[in-house]
DNA sequence: CGCGTTTGACCAGCGC
DNA sequence: GCGCTGGTCAAACGCG
């Protein structure tokens, strides 16, 4: 593609305009955004300090425009004009411009025309991209359906299907069924389906989530499902629905991620807003179970259950279900990615058979019962539990030293945590265990967990190490993907981005 | 008055 | 079919 008009300002020959117009621009890097370019251009035209130079540029631009050649001609004119500006500093130029004040108006009008043309071009490009995206999206849906049909006939699953399953399990609501395909800006869904894409960022995905998901739902099912939500009382149930073509292939309807953390507080601040909609006395537990629903957005399908452990009431068990259909704050995003990774790995390691889930050989590399991440196949829904409460057992490290490597390495990416007396699971021999019932420690850990995307990755790495999932598992990589909390890919080069996964909510509630 | 919580009722799934 | 249990609803209530 030809360089857009804004890019002309980035050209070395045009870079001088920054130094000429404003001292602030001297510090601008060459890789300015388009928005900044627009600002710079405006500054150029309306600067009172460089009338003469501007006049020169104006004249050149108008001349190019008079040629009535295409916009690229105009662009070249602007670039050339900017280049020439660096060469003129004589007073004769300025006086020459003052003799032609009308050129300013003409130039401004021409510039407006040029900008309008640029807008039209960009608009047409965007429309074209949208069309291409829709077409690819349709192809992807068709291919996925074909693929699923083939697998159903073949009687086996693969990782691709696991990802679909993970998406379906983590999102019982209608909006999440296709979030797995959350588009990157490349629009190449089939390619992204096979390989991780670093372009997925949770925040930017969230920004695009609602309209894109809506559109995709229309494509997928032929009608707009966005209006459906938990208000559709039958939605969360296991009853067959319009999604029968998907659920019928997977006996497990949805997965849950349970987080055990010590907290004296009755409720956890996990970055999301929750509304309590019910409370029940669960069997075998004197503590009631509270039911919460995400209220950050209308129709958000995420729910969570909060209950204290019957054996140890300092342990708060929070179970998440579903994924958000709205942008998340950074803290919530980090946790959402963690639980999403956990759920995805749960499903990646499993098959759709409950027998395999409950089999003692389910985790070949799991040489011991892991208190950090456990699975429950007996529950109505497959549940992965992230236990952040238990004390370390040095014997476990001795029994399987190979499992030591990933998690401490991942934790090393969280320097701010190493100085805190925190503990995650059983894999941190160098870190003292969290003191039971210490609110400050709990809060510190919670804050660290909820605000640090690196710890999210560390947690995912720990789970990965326990489950014996290869680190290059794209699903695992998702934990590092898309959190908007400053977790730039450059900070974690070993964990590239990956296709979008459902944003399940995560709770480390210790508010 | 609006919003969130409480709480009893209702419904569905599951086991016997 | 019945009872148990989990999950959800919705009216009542409280609070700012």
Label residues A367-385 b or e (16+ Cβ within 10 Å = b). Answer: eeebbbbbbbbeeebbbbb
Distance, in Å, from the CA atom of A43 to the CA atom of A355, rounded to the nearest integer, reads 68
A12 CB less than 7 Å from any atom of strand C: no
Looking at residue A404, what is its pLDDT?
32
* pLDDT-derived band at A102, boundaries 50, 70, 90: confident
A458 against A394, higher pLDDT: A458
The domain spans of chain A are: 105-147, 256-347+371-388
Locate A257 and state its tokens. Answer: 């991620």
Inter-residue contact A262 to A315 (CB < 8 Å): yes
Q: List the A236 CA – C8 C1' distance (angstroms).
A: 10
Looking at residue A140, what is its pLDDT?
67
Inter-residue contact A328 to A334 (CB < 8 Å): no
Q: Which of A245-259, A263-277, A358-372, A473-487 has the lowest mean pLDDT?
A: A473-487
Distance, in Å, from the CA atom of A281 to the CA atom of A470, rounded to the nearest integer, reads 41
Nucleotide nearest to A283 in CA–C1' terms: C5
Q: What is the tens place of the pLDDT at every residue in A414-464?
A: 323 322 323 333 333 333 333 333 444 444 444 444 444 445 445 544 444
A401's CB contacts (< 8 A; 6+ apart) are: none
SS3 content of chain A, % helix, strand, coil (to 5): 50, 10, 40
**pLDDT above 80 (res A314):** yes
Looking at residue A192, what is its pLDDT?
37
Distance, in Å, from the CA atom of A429 to the CA atom of A418, rounded to the nearest integer, reads 12
Looking at residue A173, what is its pLDDT?
40
- Average pLDDT for A354-374: 43
Residue A90's CB: how many other CB atoms inside 10 A? Answer: 10
Helix A51-66 vs helix A91-98: crossing angle, to nearest 10? 60
Looking at residue A426, what is its pLDDT?
32
Q: List the A438 CA – B5 C1' distance (angstroms).
A: 28
- Average pLDDT for A80-87: 33
Q: List the A281 CA – B9 C1' distance (angstroms).
A: 15
- Average pLDDT for A166-187: 40
Q: List the A242 CA – B11 C1' distance (angstroms).
A: 21
How much is the CA Rg of chain A, to the nearest whole Å?
A: 28
Nucleotide nearest to A293 in CA–C1' terms: C8
Nucleotide nearest to A240 in CA–C1' terms: B12
Q: List the A235 CA – B8 C1' distance (angstroms).
A: 23
A201's CB contacts (< 8 A; 6+ apart) are: A481, A482, A483, A484, A497
Distance, in Å, from the CA atom of A441 to the CA atom of A461, rounded to the nearest integer, reads 23
DSSP letter (8 states) at residue A434: P
Using CA atoms, how far residue A267 sits from A276, A324, A387, A424, in Å, is: 11, 19, 17, 20
Looking at residue A131, what is its pLDDT?
73
What fold, for A256-347+371-388? N-terminal domain of TfIIb (2.20.25)
Which residues are in reach of strand B, CB within 7 A?
A 237-239, 273-280, 290, 295, 380
Label residues A307-343 b or e (16+ Cβ within 10 Å = b). Answer: bbeeeeebbbbbbbbbbbbbbbbbbbbbbbbbbbbbb
A446 CB less than 7 Å from any atom of strand C: no
Cβ within 7 Å of strand C: which of A 282-301? 282-284, 289, 291
Q: What is the tens place of the pLDDT at every residue in A29-83?
A: 334 334 444 333 333 333 334 433 433 333 333 344 433 333 333 333 333 333 3
Mean pLDDT rounded to a whole number for chain A:
51
Distance, in Å, from the CA atom of A216 to the CA atom of A267, rounded to the nearest integer, reads 36
* pLDDT-derived band at A284, boundaries 50, 70, 90: confident
Q: Which nucleotides of C are covered by protein (CB under 7 A)?
A: 4-10
Inter-residue contact A386 to A504 (CB < 8 Å): no
Nucleotide nearest to A321 in CA–C1' terms: C7
Using CA atoms, how far residue A288 sits from A278, A307, A313, A382, A408, in Å, is: 10, 6, 11, 22, 37
Looking at residue A120, what is its pLDDT?
83
Question: Percent of chain A at pLDDT above 70?
Answer: 24
Dmax (CA) of chain A: 93
A277 CB less than 7 Å from any atom of strand C: yes
Q: List the A300 CA – B2 C1' distance (angstroms).
A: 21
Q: Which of A88-97, A248-257, A464-473, A489-498 has the lowest mean pLDDT?
A: A489-498
User: DSSP characters for A13-32?
Assistant: TTTHHHHHH-GGGGG--SS-
Q: What is the tens place of the pLDDT at every residue in A209-239?
A: 333 333 333 333 333 333 333 333 333 333 3
Looking at residue A346, what is its pLDDT?
64
- Average pLDDT for A470-495: 34
Cβ within 7 Å of strand C: which of A 203-232? 230-231
């Amino acid at each position: 593609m030809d360089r857009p008009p804004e890019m002309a300002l980035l050209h070395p020959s045009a870079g001088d305009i920054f130094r000429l117009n404003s001292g602030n621009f001297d510090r601008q890097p060459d890789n300015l955004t388009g928005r900044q370019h627009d600002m710079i251009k405006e500054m150029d035209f309306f600067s009172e300090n460089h009338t003469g130079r501007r006049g020169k540029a104006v004249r050149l631009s108008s001349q190019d425009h008079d040629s009535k050649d295409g916009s690229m001609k105009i662009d070249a004119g602007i670039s050339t004009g900017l280049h020439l500006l660096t060469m003129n500093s004589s007073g004769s130029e300025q006086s020459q411009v003052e003799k032609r004040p009308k050129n300013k108006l003409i130039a401004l009008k021409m510039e407006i025309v040029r900008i309008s043309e640029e807008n039209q071009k960009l608009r047409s490009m965007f429309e074209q991209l949208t069309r291409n995206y829709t077409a690819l999206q349709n192809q992807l849906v068709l291919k996925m359906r074909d693929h699923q049909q083939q697998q159903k006939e073949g009687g086996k699953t693969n990782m691709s299907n696991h990802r679909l399953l993970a998406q379906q399990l983590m999102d019982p609501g209608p909006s999440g069924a296709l979030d797995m395909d959350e588009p990157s800006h490349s629009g190449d869904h089939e390619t992204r389906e096979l390989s991780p894409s670093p372009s997925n960022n949770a925040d930017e995905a969230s920004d695009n989530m609602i309209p894109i998901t809506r559109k995709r739902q229309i494509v997928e099912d032929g009608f707009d499902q966005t209006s459906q939500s938990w208000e559709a009382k039958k939605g969360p149930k296991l009853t067959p629905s319009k999604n029968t073509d998907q659920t019928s292939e997977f006996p497990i309807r949805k997965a849950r991620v349970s987080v055990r953390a010590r907290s004296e507080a009755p409720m956890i601040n996990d970055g999301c807003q929750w509304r309590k909609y019910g409370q029940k006395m669960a069997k075998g537990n004197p503590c009631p179970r509270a039911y919460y629903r995400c209220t950050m957005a209308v129709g958000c399908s995420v729910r969570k259950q909060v209950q204290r452990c019957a054996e140890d009431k300092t342990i708060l068990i929070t179970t998440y279900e579903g994924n958000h259909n709205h942008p998340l704050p950074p803290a919530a995003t980090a946790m959402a990615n963690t639980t999403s990774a956990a759920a995805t790995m749960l499903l990646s390691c499993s098959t759709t058979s409950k027998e395999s889930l409950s089999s003692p050989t389910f985790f070949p590399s799991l040489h011991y019962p892991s208190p950090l991440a456990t699975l429950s196949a007996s529950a109505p829904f497959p549940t992965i539990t992230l236990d952040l409460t238990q004390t370390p057992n040095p014997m476990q490290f001795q029994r399987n030293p190979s499992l030591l490597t990933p998690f401490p390495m991942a934790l090393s990416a969280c320097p701010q945590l190493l100085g805190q007396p925190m503990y995650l699971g059983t894999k941190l021999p160098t870190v003292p265990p969290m003191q039971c019932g210490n609110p400050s420690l709990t809060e510190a850990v919670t804050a660290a967990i909820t605000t640090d995307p690196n710890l999210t990755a560390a947690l995912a790495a720990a789970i990965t190490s326990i489950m014996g999932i290869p680190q290059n598992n794209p699903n695992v990589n998702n934990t590092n993907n898309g959190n908007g909390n400053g977790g730039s890919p450059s900070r974690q080069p070993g964990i590239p981005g990956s296709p979008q996964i459902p944003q399940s909510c995560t709770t480390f509630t210790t508010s």
